[in-house]
Amino acid sequence: MRWRNTGTGLLWISPWIVGFACFTILPLALGVWYSMTDWTLLEAPIPVGTENYERLLGDQVVHVALWNTLLYIVITIPLLTVASIALAILLSRPARFQALWRVAVFAPSVLPLVALATIFKLMYDGELGVVNRGLDAVGVQGPEWFASETWAMVAIILMNLWVVGPAMVIYLASLRDVPRDLNEAASIDGVTWWGRLVHVTLPMISPVILFNVIIGLINAAQVFVVPYIMTGGGPNRGTYFWSMYVYDAAFRYGDMGYASTLGIVQFLAILLLTIGLLLVGRRFVFYRGAMP
């Protein structure tokens, strides 16, 4: 009976198993194989062992791409987390046209990233862009956003604040699950609004914060479309990220073996960072019915 039940269960989930094997396990295994070959897409792969990994250690472009990606992650994740939580708290309060404001915050996330990146590239134009025109209106001289490594990175980070909608919606749903009696008890005891936020609300939604941070980390570590369209890597590769190097190595330089190496390293780095966040979450994330 147990074997029959197991077979029935496997039969029901077999479409997922086949899809996972064909579109996840197989590409990953092929990526590992190709990372140890010299393959130009036009000829058969030639095994070279760990030569591509040794080359990666001495590649100066790798150092630049790694630094830019880490910098982007370190700045973007906290900024998006704070912004999305603040918007969720603000939009969870009763107000006129509440549904309209929620839709207005979420709507930009529906637009394709290519369209958003193109729009913001025009907005950041040094002479005709609305950003610099707005700064000029208040007496501030706007910078040449894409002529400076620093300002180009700032422009990309600020653009990402435009797509806080999905995280905000998840936080909105989690705020509804915060027990009102806890906030009421804290309020009766004289705890301020900030104290209730820090000691009641945030601990109760900490699993959702961990989830959004992990999703944000995965997306930030693979950032490609926005910097590729807006800056193309920026001056002196100031906004040249890891995924852009993977793309260039594969399709611009025709070095698919080395691109596979970069992709595998990126996958392992994201995996290790995710595991690290989950381990940290075991200490700081509160789950109902369990001690943090």
Give CA–CA dist 95/111, Å, rounded. 26
Give the position of tokens 């990953």: 28
Asked, for residue 103, whether it belongs to a domain, the answer is: yes
Asked, for residue 199, whether it belongs to a domain, the answer is: yes
Give CA–CA dist 131/158, Å, rounded. 12
Asked, for residue 214, whether it belongs to a domain, the answer is: yes
Asked, for residue 48, whether it belongs to a domain, the answer is: no
Asked, for residue 10, whether it belongs to a domain, the answer is: no
CATH number for the domain spanning 178: value is 1.10.3720.10
Q: Which residue has the higher pLDDT, 78 or 289?
A: 78
Query: Which pLDDT band, with edges at 50, 70 and 90, does 9 fall under?
Result: confident
Asked, for residue 236, whether it belongs to a domain, the answer is: yes
Asked, for residue 54, whether it belongs to a domain, the answer is: no
As for how many domains the chain has, the answer is: 1
- In the predicted model, is pLDDT for residue 291 greater than 70? no
∠ CA 281-277-215, nearest 5°, is 110
Say if pTM beats, i.e. exceeds, 0.75. yes
Give the model confidence (pLDDT) of 22-60 as tens digits: 999 999 999 999 999 999 888 889 999 999 999 998 899
State which residues form the domain around 233.
60-284
- In the predicted model, is pLDDT for residue 289 greater than 60? no
Asked, for residue 37, whether it belongs to a domain, the answer is: no
What pLDDT is attached to residue 292? 45
Give the model confidence (pLDDT) of 114-172 as tens digits: 998 999 999 998 788 888 888 888 888 888 888 888 899 999 999 888 889 899 999 99
Mean pLDDT of the chain: 90
